[in-house]
Amino acid sequence: MRVVVTGGAGFLGSHLCERLIKRGDEVVCLDNFLTGSAANVAHLQGRAGFRLVRTDVTDYLHVVGPVDVVLHFASPASPVDYLQLPIETLKVGSIGTLHALGLAKEKAARLVLASTSEVYGDPEVHPQPETYWGHVNPVGRRGVYDEAKRFAEALTLAYRNTHGVDTGIVRIFNTFGPRMRPDDGRAIPNFIRQALAGEPVTVAGDGKQTRSICYVDDLITGILAMADSDHPGPVNIGNPHEIAMLDLARWIIELTGSESEIVHIERPVDDPTIRQPDTTLAREVLGWEPLVPVEEGLHRTIAWFRAQEQEHAFSVPPLDPQATEHILRGE
């Protein structure tokens, strides 16, 4: 298969590209490096079938040759990122999704949209099944992300119903693993970075709010199962392992062997209080369920962060931007 991955140089996108290349597919990775980096896919450069092209998907989107699948993953995803980039987030969720759907229509390809558990907002139903309509504040600060994704879902359905495009929607719940940016502001990279540095670990509010956390390898398996199916979704993909943020902070301190203390910081506005996927549908229609225990995933992620820290301590000079420009253009 020939697969276009938008946002392919991000955290999830780079894992998708890696797995697709490993199974023998061709990959066109499109990214503007807004919140991702070419370094995330540097190990794939030069591999047969892999091509990285610097593109903003909110501009006109053009790919030469046949395309079987479009995995539309471009979008800032961490609250810190999308609150700093509100207009870029709304544009990529709306105009970017329009272009990705247009590409899928032109190439008669299947498109899988990376939607999010944030479409459920601060949920009043627990755990959240796909039939739940959500509880979102459209004019709250998180509205820029939540409403962009809700719009993207509606647009995806409109292309399916009006133009017959083969589409699938996945609602992704909190995922963690190697290649998360240490400064992306999400709880797990923050806690690991802080614990490894012996700095105070910052828990928002009293830390009783929960998330359900999935190791990246499991998530990628679920996304590819959706890409290989013809199910329209939406399908929740996530690990139902639910944990309070204070307990997660304590767990990471223990696993890193850190002596960090916990400090409490202000809780962000509209921060969801509870979140857990109902994964019945994913089991039934995709035969998918997460297999990596969360503790094992945390060990692997901590090991990766440690290795990064060491690498940067003996760091090589940064790449010459002019020398890498032709690589970024996919030449």
- Which residue ranges make up the site for ligand NAD (CB under 6 A)? 6-7, 9-13, 30-36, 55-58, 73-77, 92, 96, 114, 116, 172, 174-175
- What element of type H or E holds 168? strand 167-172
Nearest approach, Cβ of 71 to ligand UDP (angstroms)? 21
Question: Number of residues in contact with ligand UDP, rule: CB under 6 A?
Answer: 15
Min dist. Cβ of residue 223 to ligand NAD (A): 9
**Residue 31 contact, options ligand NAD, ligand UDP, none, Cβ 5-8 Å cut-off depending on partner type:** ligand NAD
Known active-site residue 82: no
Q: Which of 146, 211, 258, 274 binds ligand UDP (CB under 6 A)?
A: 211
**HSE of 75 in the Cβ direction (CA atoms, 13 Å)?**
30
CB-nearer residue toward ligand UDP: 67 or 187: 187
Q: How far apart, in whole angstroms, are the C-alpha atoms of residue 229 and residue 285?
A: 9
Question: Which residue is it, tokens 């290989």?
Answer: 228
Q: For ligand UDP, what does the binding mask look like between residues 245 and 284, x meaning CB under 6 A?
A: x---------------------xx--x-------------
| Tokens 């991000």 sit on residue | 10
Taking the C-alpha atoms of residue 160 and residue 242, their distance in angstroms, rounded to an integer, is: 34
Pseudo-torsion of CA 136, 139, 142, 147, nearest 10°?
A: 60
x-or-dash pattern for ligand UDP, window 26-65, by CB under 6 A? ----------------------------------------
Q: Of 72, 110, 186, 231, which one interacts with ligand UDP (CB under 6 A)?
A: 186
Least Cβ distance, residue 59 to ligand NAD (angstroms): 8
**Binding partner of residue 196 among ligand NAD, ligand UDP, none, CB cut-off 5 to 8 Å per kind:** none
Q: Please, where are the H alpha helices in the chain?
A: 11-22, 79-84, 86-91, 97-107, 143-163, 187-197, 216-228, 245-256, 280-281, 294-313, 321-328
DSSP 267-283: PPTT--S---B--HHII
CB of 237 vs ligand NAD, minimal distance in Å: 9
Does residue 156 belong to the site contacting ligand UDP (CB under 6 A)?
no
**Identity of the amino acid at 284:** E
Nearest distance in Å: CB 234, ligand NAD? 12
Q: What is the CA radius of gyration of the chain?
A: 19
CA distance 231 to 169: 9
